[in-house]
Amino acid sequence: MRLFTALWPSQEAVRHLAAAVETVRSTQPKRLAQATEGLRKFRFLPPERWHLTLCFHGDDAEPDRVGDRLARRVGRVGRTQPGFGPPRLRMTGAGVFRGVLWVGVQPGGQEDAAVLSTVAGMAGADARSFRAHVTVARWAAGRADRALPDLLTAYEGPWWSADEVSVVSSEQQSSAPVYRTIRRVALTAVD
């Protein structure tokens, strides 16, 4: 079982991005085909799997230990850091990593950016190198040029609040992983 920590976009945000991806697929098939030419096994991921990964914990991580540590850290920061609470975010822009087409995640302001960075650090990520994004497509081999992210570069989704952080297991079944939330930790300040 693989384990990761994530923020899940709101249903409204996912629907909005799914509509944008479907628009690209249905109204720009030639442009999409050209942008993915040479990318082996290119595929869009189903919207129900779109999430913002904060930290990948690996195959041997203990779910209870990861969840308990995260809950302690969030509780401590919630009691001591003024302004800590659900960050306001939106999905916007696009880019590529090796084998991945992603849509960026933008904080609403400096306070939201600070909370997102703090939450990523509490989850175990290196907050300095953390790049908030949602993976929307993958491919097995080949190098994407600028044409692929250009399909979604102008995308701007609705704002949403990340009310909780989730510890999630990923188990390979058939040809796709199945995600199961193991633990949820609310991102609220403690009065």
Structure tokens at 154: 């102008």
Measure the CA–CA gap between 148 and 10, rounded to whole angstroms.
25
The continuous run of DSSP H or E covering 48 comes out as none
Please, what is the angle between helix 11-27 and helix 29-36, to 10°?
A: 90
* Angle at alpha carbon of residue 188, lines to 69 and 119, rounded to 5°: 50
The answer to whether residue 51 is catalytic is yes
Residue 71's CB: how many other CB atoms inside 10 A? 17
Residue at 145: amino acid letter: D
State the amino acid at position 89 in one-letter form. L
| Active-site entry in 120, 133, 157, 162 | 133
Q: What are the structure tokens assigned to 104, written together?
A: 């960026």
Catalytic residue among 13, 17, 51, 66: 51
- Indicate if 57 belongs to the active site: no
Q: Which residues are catalytic?
A: 51, 133
